[in-house]
Amino acid sequence: MTETLTRFEPFPEPPALILEYIAERSTEESVTADGPAPWDIGALSAELIEPMPAWLDSVCRWLNRTYAWQPQDVIPPCWAKHEGLAYEIAALAFARGDAYAEAGSSVIWHEQYDRFLTRMNKTLGKAGDECRVGQHEDRPARFQLAAWPTRTDGGREEKSGTQRVKELA
């Protein structure tokens, strides 16, 4: 019976550089303690972000092998092209390390994982089916954010080309 438990794969370890960064942030004397949290991938330096895609991809593969028993539970291979998913996967991966310090916390992590799946499926919508089979398409044209006016450096909104043409007509 114990043979069945020996085949379980361990959760992927964060890259050494990230573990060092976390250790530095936790020391009070550290100059980098004010740096961004390692799960805030948009705020990380180029040096810190460099090892993250490979690690987060291994986390996604581990989550899929371990938990994805239904198609809607599969994190698609194009997860990094969905910025919201990338942020959530990073937070979920780092939260797991903390959660397994106590049994009760690990139960809470599993509840967080379930909520992550709900948000992932809401984010992906119908496109999720295509993404899961390797046919990712960028955000559908009707949902492009190009309609939002761009901002100038001064914070003022710059009018889109369409608005400017209408004003000139």
Predicted confidence pLDDT, tens digits, the chain (169 residues): 567 777 889 999 999 999 999 998 888 665 545 789 999 999 999 999 999 999 999 999 999 999 999 999 999 999 999 999 999 999 999 999 889 888 899 999 999 999 999 999 998 988 888 999 889 888 765 566 666 677 776 666 655 544 544 444 4
Select from 78, 90, 80 the least CA-distant residue to 134: 78
Query: Residue 17: what pLDDT?
Result: 96
Q: Give the pLDDT of residue 33.
A: 59
pLDDT for residue 165: 40
Which residues, in sequence order, are bridge partners of residue 150? 158
CA distance 33 to 22: 9
Determine the pLDDT at residue 168: 43
Q: Model's pTM, two decimal places?
A: 0.79
